[in-house]
Homo-oligomer: A and B are copies of this chain.
């Protein structure tokens, strides 16, 4: 069983995967994702993954067989284990608990070489829809407080498989960074009686210098204080604190702006590695006036080094106004 440990000073949580128990000699630096080898996520290899928890597109077919257009499976090497109790306990000055949680892989396409930027809007709707469906399902497990949806694209951004996929981790605690974001938004709201994200959206739509693209329901901006060059946020224009509240009609516009955003990013810097993270309210909190769900996309173009480790500051050589102008004016 993995262990969740808390730093007693800053309150940072760490997942210790005892099972992996790496010794020094195990740290072989893999520079590239193996290409052309066996892919456990390709159709026909369904029996090499744990049993699927969700599949779209397979009409009347048996589970764990080909024919799907999207498939969600538990991670074969999970960071957290789905079975067991939390068993919170102390160890002198320290606190720990069992690493209980869900870790799933969302296989976005049956086509090994298809990237997110290449998916049709209809297929992209399935990906975005599956995120909501998995959150709604995992919310039923009362042990979980948060579901984190994220994607690592490219080896430099942490992907270990080439086949296009997102990941999901359900956690028994609300992560520190989510708490900080909620707290910051709440402080702003208490002072101004307005959602800080709504204020940002208004300002960015009016001034336009950091606007990348928009449609009826969504906009993509480069944030004012981006951690990395070409960082982008996709936000809904309608105030809503939870991704679970996206309506069926909004999903097609979300897929449209998602597709446009990644085509612009790929047009600017072809095959750039990136991470994205869905920011949405914790499972057990009611809808709030102060929080606003959104996606944050971080291209992997700079290094996290000693200065960033020590300060939490980031050094970014590309002003977001320059990045937005470039992305906006790109012909895609």
Contact = CB atoms under 8 A, between A and B. Distances in A.
Contact of A317 (B17, B167, B268, B319): B17
A332 to B, nearest CB: 14
Interface string A257-291: 00000000000110010011111000000000000
Contacts of A142: none
Interface in A79-99: 79, 91-94
A62 interface: no
A66 to B, nearest CB: 28
Prevailing SS type, chain A contact patch = mixed
B304 A158 contact: yes
A13 interface: yes
Interface residues of A, number: 91
A18 B320 CA distance: 10
Contacts of A29: 156
Given A9-B184, A319-B18, A307 B31 contact: no
Interface of A: 3, 5-18, 20-24, 27, 29, 31, 79, 91-94, 148, 150-152, 156-159, 167, 169, 171, 175-178, 180-181, 184-185, 188, 196-197, 199-200, 203, 207, 223-227, 229-230, 268-269, 272, 275-279, 296, 298, 301, 303-307, 309-320, 322, 326
